[in-house]
A = this chain, B = another copy of it.
Amino acid sequence: MKAEIISTGTELLLGKTLNTSAFYLTGQLSGLGMEVVYHTTVGDNQARLLEALGQALTRSQIVFLTGGLGPTADDLTKEVVARVLGLDMDFNQDCMETIKHFYNEKLSLPPGSEKQAAFPKGAKILQNEQGTAPGAIIAKEEKYCVIMPGPPSEMKVMFDNHVLPELQNILKNDQERMYVRVLKVFGLGESELEQKISDIMAQKSPFITLLDKHTYMDLRVTIKTGNREKAQTILNNTEEVIRKRLGNNVFGVDDENHAQIVGNLLRKNKLSLATAESCTGGLLGGRMTAEAGSSDYYLGGAVSYANSAKEIILGVNSVSLFEHGAVSDTVAREMAVGVKKRLQADLGLSITGIAGPDGGTVEKPVGLVYIGLAHYEGVNIKKCQFVGSRESIRNMSVETALNMLRLYLLEGK
């Protein structure tokens, strides 16, 4: 089933707001096996929205519209849908009560609220648990329009709770779907990766594409078929073949992330971790605690940005700092050992480096980063030379530290 997404909102066309709603929706729809063929973004402009929706409905069976459901005059998504489908607008009293209820608890009813309770005739109304604007699904002659609010937080909850069940009904009769599996690969560049699996990439089905995600690569396996079980078998087999070639360079699948994988390995091995960060300023700790339940394995650590912090909190030797500098093998080692010892952790992971853009020298250029991993048998040190912006150097440092820890947990070295 071909689907399109139309995002409305002038803010999206001023470059001040990233269109995360379209991104989220696309992922969800692809996961359901729908083929998303177009995204269109238009401002709050009736003529342009009319044109965009008219075109979308000639090409695709289902169109998802986000935004333009507010109480003001330039919110006109529902009106445009009614016009394109040749339907009248209907006032819905139940909806009005819900909106009144929402405001009663907080403040007085703003002008234009009645507008939010009007829908194209025959619409199935979708509750908005996060805000006032309800959504709707309108079906006409085998075409569907799904209307949802613009703010991603409202849209996502509405999609998960109310749109998804309806879509599963609509999709029951559909024949061919697209199935996707993403393998996440660390430590191999695009061309190196391509060489290792060139024969698999040459196949027409399943179809393989590579995507540079900056700190890692996504290897995407896609297959289009009417048979769900067959799709799963092919995806499983392809994954197995690729994993044999790439080994532990594959760190995860689909939505998994590196910190989550590492966290699960720590939990499985009943090991605790402490971190000591200099140039990353807490980003590694932030990543390690992004998942609920991370207190099972993560104790905390130090953000030792200044040298004094390295000495005071981690017990790094002032002579080491003076003789080798903060960005050195020696200091990375003392940071990792220090934080492991201070917090009585099983493992200590440290990062010290020059994130730039200033502060580099000929001997220690911007992008030079040392990562230390203290364990019971000793300390592993990795010297890295990253290139790019301050942000990329910091992100690559965190990702490389996670990878070092993951490989240690998997391979014991």
Contact = CB atoms under 8 A, between A and B. Distances in A.
Interface in A186-244: 191, 194, 209, 211-214, 218, 220, 222
Which of the four size classes fits the interface of chain A?
Answer: 35 or more
Given A27-B15, A282-B283, A300 B304 contact: yes
Given A16-B182, A25-B15, A295 B305 contact: yes
A200 to B, nearest CB: 15
Contact of A290 (B153, B300, B302, B391): B391
A409 to B, nearest CB: 19
A247 interface: no
A338 to B, nearest CB: 11
Please indicate which of the listed interface residues A16, A20, A52, A191 has the most CB atoms of chain B within 10 Å of its own CB: A16
Interface in A257-313: 274-275, 277-286, 288-290, 292-295, 298-306, 308-310, 312-313
A343 interface: yes
B19 A22 contact: yes
A341 to B, nearest CB: 10
A342 to B, nearest CB: 6
A39 interface: yes
A13 B30 contact: yes
A29 B23 CA distance: 22
Given A38-B41, A39-B40, A302-B313, A11 B209 contact: yes
A110 B12 contact: no
Nearest to A274: B309
A130 to B, nearest CB: 9
Given A15-B26, A282-B283, 13 more contacts: A11-B218, A12-B39, A13-B38, A19-B19, A39-B41, A153-B392, A277-B282, A281-B285, A292-B359, A300-B304, A300-B309, A301-B309, A302-B303
8 contacts: A14-B27, A14-B36, A14-B222, A15-B28, A15-B30, A281-B289, A282-B286, A308-B343
